[in-house]
Amino acid sequence: MASLAVAAVLTSRLGLRLGDEAVIAGGGVTTFLALAWLTKLGSGRETLTYYHHEVAIFAVAALLAASLHAPILAHLDVTALALGTFLVFGRIGCLRAGCCHGRPWHRGVRYGAEHVEAGFPSYLRDLPLVPVQALESAAVALIVLIGAALFLDPRAPGRAFSFYLVAYAVVRLALEEARGDTARRHLRGLSEAQWTSLALIVATLSAELAGLLPGRGIGLLGAACALAECLAVGLLAAPCHAFARARATRGRRCGALGRGGRVGRGGGATRCHRRPRIYFPHPPLDRESEVSVRESLRVYAHGRHGSPTAT
C-alpha cells in the first residue's frame, strides 16, 4: 500500500494521468505475482529474487506506458521510486523472517528455534549475523528519498529512474559481501546479484551515452563506485572473507569444517580458492557434522582463535 501511495503522489507531482499510472501499477503487481508463481512452478519452491522482479516490472511498465501513449521515462521514474518503497518494507519482512540473512559476525541479529522450524538453517541458530536486510532497507529508503527530492524532475524524465538503478546497484554490489544465505549462484567470485548490478550500471551508462536517458553523470559515477568497490573487495578479500565454502554433492556429507580445509568422508581437504568466501553446507548435515559446523561458525563469529580459511 505504501508503494501505491508513493506512486500516486509522484504521479500527481509530475502531472501524469492517474489512470495511466493505475494501469502500469496494476501491471507491475501482476508481473510480480506471475513471476513468483512461475518460479515456484519451475523450481518447486517459493523463491523471490528481487532483481528478477525489478527487471521484469520495469520492462512491463515501459511496454504499458508505450501502449497507452504515455511518457515512458516519467512513468519509469514513478515505478522505480514506488518499487524502492516496496523493497524498503520487503527487506524488513526478510529481517523478521530470517531469509536473505547475513554472515556470522561478532554482533548482530539472532534467529532461534521458531525460525529453524520455518526453514532457517539450524547450524546458524542463535549465532549473531550481520543484519544485512536492515542495512539494505535503510539504504534503499535513503535512495528513494534522494531520488524523489533531487532527481525527480518533469523537465528531465528518466533521471530518477537512472539514479535508482545505479544507486541500488552500487549498494547491492557492496552488501552482497555481507550475505550468508545459501543456494545463490556465483561466477568467478561474484554472486548473480553482483553481476546483475554491474550489468545494470553498464546498461545505464550506455543508455546515457546513447541519449536514451538524460545526462551522463549518474552512470559515470555509478561505474566509478562499482570499480572502487571491486578493487576494495579484491584487496580485502583474504582478511574479510575468512571462512570457507562447504559444498556438499549428492550422496556426500561434510564431515568437519575447521581451519585449513574442508574435510569430507574421504578425509581430503580441498584447495583454497584465490578469493575465499563464506558459504554454508547444502543439503542439510547430519547431527555430528552440524555440531562441528556450528562450533566453527561460533569460533569465527566471536573471533577467539582467528578465522578458519577453507573453501
- Give the three cell numbers for residue 81: 521510486
- The half-sphere exposure of 214 on its side-chain side, counting CA atoms within 13 A, is 17
Which domain-ending residue is among 237, 261, 282? 237
Contact residues for 253 (Cβ-Cβ < 8 A; gap 6+): 264, 265, 281, 285, 286, 289
Number of domains comprising the chain: 2
pLDDT of 272 higher than 70: no
Is 249 in the same domain as 185? no
Query: Which amino acid is located at 91 in the chain?
Result: R
* Band (189; pLDDT cuts 50, 70, 90): confident
Q: 258 has which bridge partners?
A: 261
- Percent of all residues in the chain with a pLDDT value above 90, rounded to a whole number: 44
| One domain for residues 211 and 94 | yes
Taking the alpha carbons at both ends of the chain, their separation in whole angstroms is 44
- Whether the pLDDT of residue 289 is over 60: the answer is no
Are 105 and 144 found together in one domain? Answer: yes
Q: Is 14 in the same domain as 57?
A: yes
Report whether 172 contacts 49 (CB < 8 A): no
d(CA 289, CA 14): 58
Tell whether the model's pLDDT for residue 266 goes beyond 50.
no
pLDDT tens digits, residue range 82-99? 999 999 999 999 999 888
Give the pLDDT confidence of 49-65 residue by residue, as tens digits. Answer: 899 999 999 999 999 99
pTM of the model: 0.77
Distance, in Å, from the CA atom of 298 to the CA atom of 304, rounded to the nearest integer, reads 9
Average model confidence (pLDDT) for the chain?
79
Based on the domain organization, do 140 and 115 belong to the same domain?
yes
Query: Where do the H-state alpha helices sit in 103-155?
Result: 113-117, 132-146
- What does the angle CA 245 – CA 250 – CA 256 come to, to the nearest 5 degrees? 45
Per mean pLDDT, which range of 10-24, 168-182, 198-212, 277-291 is the poorest? 277-291
- 206's grid cell: 550506455
Residue 51: which domain range?
2-237
Domain shared by 120 and 215, yes or no:
yes
Mean local confidence (pLDDT), 144-170? 93
- My answer on whether 198 and 296 are in the same domain is no
- What single letter denotes the amino acid at residue 151? F
- Comparing 84-93, 106-115, 159-168, 269-278, the range with the smallest average pLDDT is 269-278
Domain final residue, candidates 237, 270, 293 = 237
Same domain, 213 and 253: no
Q: What is the DSSP letter of 223?
A: H
Please report the pLDDT score of residue 234 as a whole number.
Answer: 63
Whole-Å CA distances, 216 to 39, 62, 222, 223: 36, 21, 10, 11
Average pLDDT over residues 5-21: 93
Q: How far is it, in rounded angstroms, from Cα 172 to Cα 9?
A: 27
Answer yes or no: is pLDDT of 218 > 70: yes
Instruction: Assess whether 270 and 284 both reside in one domain.
Output: yes
How far is it, in rounded angstroms, from Cα 226 to Cα 194?
Answer: 10
Task: Report the largest interatomic distance among the alpha carbons of the chain, rounded to a whole angstrom.
Answer: 68
Label residue 222 exposed, middle or buried (CB < 10 Å: 0-12, 13-18, 19+): buried
The CB density around residue 213, as the number of other CB atoms within 10 Å, is 24
Computed on alpha carbons and rounded to an integer, the radius of gyration of the chain in Å comes to: 21
- Residue 183 CA to residue 232 CA, distance in Å, equals 25
88 in Cβ contact with 140 (< 8 Å): yes
Of 181 and 155, the one with more pLDDT: 155
Both 20 and 137 in a single domain? yes
Q: Which of 237, 271, 299 is the last residue of a domain?
A: 237
Compute the distance between CA of residue 245 and CA of residue 102 in angstroms, rounded to an integer: 15
180 has a pLDDT exceeding 90: no
* Maximum mean pLDDT: which of 98-102, 136-140, 297-301: 136-140
Considering the domain architecture, whether residues 6 and 150 belong to the same structural domain is answered as: yes
Section 176-189 average pLDDT: 82
Higher-confidence residue: 264 or 36? Answer: 36
Please state, in angstroms and as integers, the Cα–Cα distance from residue 246 to each residue in 39, 70, 123, following that order.
Answer: 26, 51, 13
CB 289 within 8 A of CB 282: no
pLDDT of the residue at 231: 74
Same domain, residue pair 247 and 182 = no
